[in-house]
């Protein structure tokens, strides 16, 4: 269950506006990755939400709405497949995170990320599994996941052959079979090995 220990350690250092940062979709074969950034009021109350990976789709949507209502500030930023192919997935994650942080109003004074090391002048903590231990990061995780899932549902209507609504762009047997049959679409990450192999196979045919 998330708590406030990480936030409290920054608060004791004099930082009041603390943003949680987390991403979703970094390992997917298709679609953008998303980065959520959330500043919660530091009331040290217990929220029902937790790391998005542990929740059902219905609960994620419900809790994401709660986050938007109670947050002092929140935003979600995407990094497209094209940007991921251009920069590499880690650098694209960093770029999206910095864009999202820059859009927050009020601006955060410190950050907590889920093991994401950022080039930023802001002080931050980046422990592993922060999404399971920090309410701020768990909230960011929810927003990133829900926003990306909604975007993949839209992509499913544009590219119905690939099953994006079901697997959200991740590597599954169904997705691999669709790649083999239809080849990559514009939303596939060509720098990822399974997509690259499918593209090369299409070129050989």
Residue ranges and CATH numbers for the domains of the chain are: 5-156 (3.30.420.10), 159-198 (no CATH)
Query: In the prediction, which pLDDT does 1 show?
Result: 83
Q: How many CB atoms lie within 10 A of CB 46?
A: 10
pLDDT digits (tens, 9 = 90+) for 22-43: 999 999 999 999 999 999 998 8
The predicted structure's pLDDT at residue 20: 98
pLDDT over threshold 90, residue 55: no
- The per-residue b/e assignment along 157-185, b for 16 or more CB within 10 angstroms, e otherwise, is eebeebbbeebbbebeeebeebbeeebbb
- pLDDT at 75 > cutoff 90: yes
To the nearest whole percent, how much of the chain has pLDDT over 70?
99
Q: Residue 124: what pLDDT?
A: 98
Task: Report the sign of the C-alpha dihedral through residues 85, 190, 151, 93, in that order.
Answer: negative
Q: What is the pLDDT of residue 202?
A: 77
- How confident is the model at residue 54, as a pLDDT? 79
CA 31/CA 169 separation, integer angstroms: 6
Give residue 105's pLDDT.
97
Please, which pLDDT band fits residue 129 given cuts at 50, 70 and 90?
very high
pLDDT at residue 205 above 80?
no
Two structure tokens written together for 189 = 């990450």
The pLDDT of 88-111, averaged and rounded, is: 98
Where residue 51 falls among pLDDT bands split at 50, 70, 90? low
Say what angle helices 193-204 and 173-182 make with each other, to 10 degrees. 30
pLDDT score for 149: 98
pLDDT tens by residue, 167-176:
999 999 999 9
- At 144-160, the pLDDT tens digits run 999 999 999 999 999 99
- Strands 73-79 and 110-113 come out as unpaired
pLDDT of residue 141: 95
Q: Which two tokens stand for residue 143?
A: 């927003």
* First-residue to last-residue Cα distance in the chain: 52
Torsion region of 129: left, alpha or beta (phi above 0 gives left; psi -120 to 50 gives alpha): left
Give the least confident one: 49-58, 91-100, 172-181. Answer: 49-58
pLDDT of residue 168: 98
């Amino acid at each position: 269950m998330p708590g406030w220990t990480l936030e409290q350690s920054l608060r004791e250092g004099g930082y009041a506006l603390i943003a949680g940062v987390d991403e979703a979709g970094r390992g997917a074969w298709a679609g953008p990755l998303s980065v959520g950034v959330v500043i919660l009021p530091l009331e040290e109350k217990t929220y029902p939400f937790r790391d998005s990976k542990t929740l059902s789709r219905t609960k994620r949507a419900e809790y994401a709405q709660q986050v938007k209502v109670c947050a002092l500030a929140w935003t979600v930023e995407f990094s497209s497949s094209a940007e991921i192919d251009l920069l590499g997935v880690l650098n694209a994650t960093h770029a999206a995170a910095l864009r999202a942080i820059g859009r927050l109003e009020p601006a955060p004074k410190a950050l907590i990320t889920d093991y994401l090391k950022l080039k930023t002048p802001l002080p931050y903590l980046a422990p592993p599994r922060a999404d399971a231990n920090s309410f701020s990061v768990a909230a960011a995780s929810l927003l990133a996941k829900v926003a990306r899932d909604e975007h993949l549902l839209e992509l499913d209507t544009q590219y119905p052959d690939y099953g994006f609504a079901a697997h959200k762009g991740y590597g599954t047997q169904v997705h691999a079979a669709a790649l083999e049959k239809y080849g990559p679409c514009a939303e596939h990450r060509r720098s990822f090995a399974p997509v690259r192999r499918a593209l090369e196979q299409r070129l050989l045919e």
